Amino acid sequence: MKRNRRVKILATLGPASNDEAMIRKLHEAGADVFRINMSHADHDTMRETVARIRRVEAAVGHPIAILADLQGPKLRVGKFVDGKVDLHVGDEITLDDNPEPGNASRVFLPHPEILEAVQPGHRLLIDDGKLQLVAVAADGRSIRCRVVAGTRISDRKGVSLPDTTLATGALTEKDRRDLDAVLAENVDWIALSFIQRPEDLAEARKVSRGRAGLMSKIEKPQAVERLDEIIELSDAIMVARGDLGVEMPLEQVPGIQKRMTRLARRAGKPVVVATQMLESMITAPVPTRAEVSDVSIAVFEGADAVMLSAESASGDYPVEAVATMDRIAREVEKDPLYPGIIFAQRPAAEATGADAVSLAARQIAETLNVAAIVTYTATGTTGLRTARERPQIPIIALSPILGTTRRLTLAWGLDCVHTEDATDLDEMVDKACRIAVQQGIARAGERIIVTAGVPLRTPGATNMIRIAYIGSDGLSSI
């Protein structure tokens, strides 16, 4: 099933969209990847949702990727005697290890790691920044804070720590249980929430053992400060603009988004732009003009994927939201300015065989104006390096490994096809020609570029480029 756009759409499933008929409608409207938010899904719900997606995948005959988004550490204050208290700027309130219900002077903070890490001068943002505190004194068991903005705090509100690096890792006990459960269902991507440092990926990497790609959600200032290292150790990244906009000045987020998009492309790692992209479509059938511009900017920047959250999970117009995002992306990619912007951001090739072959394939393809680049990829590396080049012609990624095919559906411009392995080079080229025709991307009389590794079935050995002419029988005539 050929998409008429290169950027991919990631749609979150939820109460409004997790039945099989709706999942198929969302896929047909343009969703390439489905996200299961483990903050709201128990294991039975997750398993049922995965099964429904796989049935839709079998029905449409096209690979669909599944992203399981782990909740990460949820930091919250305790409860109050009256459920809430009113405060004023300049007031002081203490967060401590006393589990008794709070009042206007103190409240329980059931997170010893915060009590031990916060230092005087650090900010604490409550309820997505609606109440802003600054630490005045801290002794490891309590934090005395002064109110600098906001007027109210109530039961179980979240706590954000833009200035504090916690000693604990990114995986909670719930995350560990969820990770085991989603890996057992063969999901394709795992999103890790509230990453602070590169070391936060180590445990998930050890548990997953390559069974799923790891996507780091960048939503904390500490992660932004070590972005290069985190990207290097991740398989993909997500610009999680919601929490990032809480913990950092909002006016800095657009620049961080651009920086992250370009760094990820340079590294050849997929990057997803997420949060509030079409927020008004939760309750309205059309987006605002500002939201259309927001999606357009992400596409112009060369993001691999744009994501819908509540718009598709719990909104009133999930199909319309996906279809709208699809139309916006296709219109941007038809814009005369789009190729030049994408070309201007093209990173220099690295000194690897996969990069050299991918660069040469793109240059030959554009010089000869061929119909497509067809790349054979076992691990997915060659497919991602080809996508990194952002060629202006279609890319078909062929793999005999279904998991690789599904995982690559997240990447920019890749039309992914699961196919049996070829026995020799001639069969490989014939198969590439036949699939290019079947996908509606090439026709008899046109040429394609084929890249692969010789000898066959040698992971990481991409070293061959072939120009193939498609004969009248749909096979290579050269």
Pairing status of strand 271-274 against strand 106-108: unpaired
Three-state DSSP state, 432: helix
Catalytic-residue membership of 262: no
Location of each CATH 3.40.1380.20 domain in the chain: 353-469
Location of each CATH 2.40.33.10 domain in the chain: 84-160
Given a contact cutoff of 8 angstroms between Cβ atoms, the answer to whether 23 and 56 are in contact is: yes
Catalytic-residue membership of 106: no
The active-site residue, picked from 35, 123, 269, 385, is 35
**Sheet-wide strand order for 92-96:** 106-108, 92-96, 142-149, 131-138, 123-126, 159-160
Location of each CATH 3.20.20.60 domain in the chain: 8-72+170-335
Catalytic-residue membership of 35: yes
Please report the pLDDT score of residue 352 as a whole number.
81
- Tell me the residue ranges of DSSP E strands in 52-126: 65-69, 84-86, 92-96, 106-108, 123-126
In whole numbers, what is the pLDDT of the chain averaged over residues?
94
State mean pLDDT over 389-396. Answer: 95
Asked whether the CA dihedral 408, 409, 412, 415 is positive or negative, the reply is: positive
Q: Around 137, how many Cα atoms within 13 Å sit in the side-chain half-sphere?
A: 5
Chain centroid to CA 78: 32
State mean pLDDT over 190-196. Answer: 96
Given a contact cutoff of 8 angstroms between Cβ atoms, the answer to whether 39 and 360 are in contact is: no
Asked whether the CA dihedral 49, 52, 58, 59 is positive or negative, the reply is: negative
Residue 290 has pLDDT above 70, yes or no: yes
CA 304 to CA 387: how far, in whole Å?
Answer: 9
| Residues in Cβ contact with 365 at an 8 Å cutoff, skipping those fewer than 6 apart | 372, 373, 391, 393, 449
The active-site residue, picked from 25, 47, 54, 76, is 76
- Looking at domain 353-469, its CATH class is alpha beta
Share of the chain above pLDDT 70, in %: 97
The active-site residue, picked from 8, 24, 157, 217, is 217
CB atoms within 10 A of CB 183: 17
Three-state DSSP state, 176: helix
8-72+170-335 belongs to CATH 3.20.20.60? yes
Chain centroid to CA 403: 17
State mean pLDDT over 116-144. Answer: 96
The pLDDT-based confidence of 170 (bands split at 50, 70, 90) is confident
The tens digit of pLDDT for each residue in 213-245 reads: 999 999 999 999 999 999 999 999 999 999 999
What does the DSSP 8-state code read for residue 286? S
CA 59 to CA 140: how far, in whole Å?
Answer: 57
State mean pLDDT over 399-416. Answer: 97
- Looking at domain 84-160, its CATH class is mainly beta
CB atoms within 10 A of CB 111: 20
Distances (CA, A) of 54 to 51, 187, 402: 5, 10, 12
Catalytic-residue membership of 217: yes
The active-site residue, picked from 275, 324, 405, 451, is 275
Distances (CA, A) of 204 to 28, 102, 175, 178, 199: 33, 36, 10, 11, 10
CA 109 to CA 427: how far, in whole Å?
Answer: 64
Residue 473 has pLDDT above 80, yes or no: no
Instruction: Give me the residues paired with residue 340 across strands.
Output: none
Taking alpha carbons only, the member of 53, 58, 57, 103 closest to residue 78 is: 103
Q: Which residues of 455-477 are buried (b: 16+ CB within 10 A; e: fewer)?
A: ebeeeebbebbbbbebeeebbbe
User: For residue 85, which amino acid is it?
Assistant: V
The tens digit of pLDDT for each residue in 240-284 reads: 999 999 999 999 999 999 999 999 999 999 999 999 999 999 999
Please report the pLDDT score of residue 457 as a whole number.
63
Three-state DSSP state, 16: coil
The tens digit of pLDDT for each residue in 60-101 reads: 999 999 999 999 999 999 999 999 999 999 999 999 999 999
Please report the pLDDT score of residue 458 as a whole number.
66
Chain centroid to CA 222: 19
Share of the chain above pLDDT 90, in %: 88
The pLDDT-based confidence of 433 (bands split at 50, 70, 90) is very high
Please report the pLDDT score of residue 402 as a whole number.
96
Pairing status of strand 152-154 against strand 84-86: antiparallel
The tens digit of pLDDT for each residue in 435-465 reads: 999 999 999 999 999 998 777 666 666 788 9
